[in-house]
């Protein structure tokens, strides 16, 4: 759809796998499927990587490897079941630094997920793309779907869109996530975005060939 930009705080890669046009998708928090060197100032290496796990040492622990004759077509054998790493009673294996993915460019640092961790700045290139889009023209509508409308800096885009004439539509399970400064012409739909958004967009999707 021309004239549309999606600003996503998700890092799961689902938008990309759904063939969302790359030029119309801004990943504010990056993506788990990009890995980069931990030393981004001196070494700018990054790559897309869809291997899971990226190295055997980073695999989710299991109960053990079941013999081939015990495996069935119905699913993994009991020994193959992944353990719950969030359970404090599940011991995690020690992983040596040499077993972590090494940067193939500088060969001095390890690779890390290409996501924004707490305390880090959002990617400047993405912020620049968003600002350019907002400054370019009048905005008719901003949809805030399944995320807080109060957390900075993403929440600031609501104010900027309003300043350019946009109406605000929020879809959320939490009624506390109504945007600050809500106006009479704004919409708030309480409920599951997977149900509400398709219904809202039905007039558009049905009109598309």
Active site residues: 29
Radius of gyration of the chain (CA): 22
**Between vectors from CA 15 to CA 9 and to CA 17, what angle results, nearest 5°?**
140
Show Cβ contacts of residue 15 under 8 Å, excluding neighbours closer than 6 positions. Answer: 6, 8, 25, 27
Q: How many other CB atoms are there within 10 angstroms of residue 179's CB atom?
A: 20
Show Cβ contacts of residue 134 under 8 Å, excluding neighbours closer than 6 positions. Answer: 157, 160, 161, 164
**Between vectors from CA 105 to CA 100 and to CA 111, what angle results, nearest 5°?**
30
Residues in the chain: 209
């Amino acid at each position: 759809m021309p004239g549309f930009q999606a600003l996503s705080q998700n890092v799961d890669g689902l938008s990309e796998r759904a063939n969302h046009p790359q030029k119309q998708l801004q990943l504010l928090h990056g993506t788990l499927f990009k890995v980069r060197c931990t030393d981004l100032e001196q070494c700018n290496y990054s790559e897309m990587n869809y291997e899971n796990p990226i190295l055997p040492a980073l695999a989710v622990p299991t109960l053990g490897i079941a013999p081939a004759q015990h495996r069935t077509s119905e699913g993994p054998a009991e020994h193959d079941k992944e353990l719950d790493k969030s359970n404090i009673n599940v011991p995690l294996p020690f992983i040596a630094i040499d077993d972590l993915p090494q940067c193939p460019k500088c060969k001095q640092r390890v690779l890390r997920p290409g996501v924004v961790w707490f305390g880090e700045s959002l990617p400047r290139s993405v912020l620049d793309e968003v600002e350019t889009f907002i400054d370019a023209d009048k905005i008719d509508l901003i949809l805030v779907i399944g995320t807080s409308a109060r957390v900075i800096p993403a929440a600031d885009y609501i104010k900027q869109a309003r300043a350019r004439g946009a109406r605000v539509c929020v879809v959320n399970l939490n009624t506390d996530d109504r945007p600050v400064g809500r106006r009479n012409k704004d919409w708030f739909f309480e409920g599951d975005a997977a149900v509400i958004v398709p219904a809202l967009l039905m007039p558009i999707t049905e009109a598309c060939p």
